Amino acid sequence: MGTRRNFLEKLTVSAIGLPILGSPANLFAASGEPYQGPVLRVAIMGLGSYGNRVARAMVSCKRSKLVGVISGTPSKVADWRVKYDIPEKNCYNYDNFDQIKDNPDIDAVYVITPNGLHKDHAIRAARAGKHVICEKPMGINAREGQEMVDACKAANVRLLIGYRMHFEPKTVEVIRMRMAGEFGKPKFFQGQSGFVIGDPTQWRLNKKLAGGGAMMDIGIYSINGARYMLGEEPVWVTAQETKTDPVKFKEGVDETIQFQMGFPSGAVANCLSTYAMNHLDRFFLNGEDGFAEMQPSSGYGPIEGRTHKGELTQPHITHQTLQMDGMAQLIFDGVEPIVPVDGEEGVKDMKIIDAIFQAVKTGKRVDL
């Protein structure tokens, strides 16, 4: 540890105009030197839509490499073996993957299965002695998240959550500006996250597998964004739900929730999470002395935005490439991203989601 402090020290340097040495973007700044350090050897569990996106992005990674798969579908495994040159001995299914403990050629398992399965999958990977990278939301409530944190601690492995925005250059710049006081005291955040969900039979609309609806899937970006844009943890939430299609969005599966959060400094956040609107992906931060506006703010990018000082011009680099190289750096060198991506960070978001659901149910303000 101590590296987070180093990072912050480097940030201070950047405030006087030098490059951010710890910035993820600089991982890719052409140094001319081929990378010679350790490589994080990753097995992806769940070869669905996002697993495929991560695998494609990892082809460009320097510090991490896709070397294995865990899947229940043999045809997908065959396809991935050819595409990514994966040896048969690194391929598992959901029944036999505990045997991964005897495989010295895999360092980490990246869990990219439906939310309701994350806890069990992550804990099994940890018990097999592998570092765990788990997609958001880390589980379906804070209790599950804490169980995962505890299991990974007991197994002496890292638990990291797929918070790719914590490595995204324009996002990192806005957080740096906030830390450097360039917005003055942050006062207000607005986060709007949504898209129109399709197929009514998909797991995202199944309470058991999804843990909820839009909030678990997309609203979590506004929650996490509020925390990293304002730089504080909320102390209360209020929330209101609207449902226009109770057939598609069954009991416990939220379609649209508006929610508000209050922070110790007096800052407030006003957010919207929905499965009923496309192109909703916007963050707005207002401080006493300035603002940042990002739209899109958490999609796959390019992220676009401006502050009171002008356009954000940091380069677009595939988020998952940055994330996986950043996570390798974190695991091997202890280099922390600007905002943590560990299990504890995941639990903080889960606690807020639990409180939002409680506020919806009771109609009352819920203290955190």
- Is residue 178 a contact residue for ligand NAD (CB under 6 A)? no
Which of 203, 236, 291, 332 binds ligand NAD (CB under 6 A)? It is: 203
Q: x/- site string to ligand NAD, residues 99 to 118, per CB under 6 A?
A: -------------xxxx-x-
Nearest to 266 by CA among 235, 292, 289: 235
CB-nearer residue toward ligand NAD: 158 or 204: 204
Instruction: Please tell me the distance from the alpha carbon of residue 243 to that of residue 254, in angstroms, as a whole number.
Output: 7
191 bridge partner residues = 271, 283
DSSP letter at 233? Answer: -
Q: x/- site string to ligand NAD, residues 126 to 165, per CB under 6 A?
A: ---------xx-------------------------x-x-
Least distance to ligand NAD from the beta carbon of 8, Å? 26
Give the binding range for ligand NAD (CB under 6 A) out of 26-34, 40-48, 278-286, 359-367. Answer: 40-48
Task: From the candidates 92, 221, 228, 275, give the one annotated as an active-site residue.
Answer: 221
- Is residue 50 a contact residue for ligand NAD (CB under 6 A)? yes
Nearest to 329 by CA among 7, 85, 45: 7
Which residues have CB under 8 Å from 165's CB, separation 6+? 171, 221, 224, 225, 228, 298, 319
* One-letter identity of residue 113: T
- The three-class DSSP label of residue 194 is strand
Least distance to ligand NAD from the beta carbon of 34, Å? 29
Least distance to ligand NAD from the beta carbon of 313, Å? 23
* Structural contact between residues 350 and 141, judged by C-beta atoms closer than 8 angstroms: yes
260 bridge partner residues = 238, 270
- Annotation says 221 is catalytic: yes
C-beta atoms surrounding 71 within 10 Å? 22
Binding site for ligand NAD (CB under 6 A): 46-51, 72, 112-115, 117, 135-136, 162, 164, 203, 209, 217
Q: Any idea which residues carry the catalytic annotation? A: 136, 221
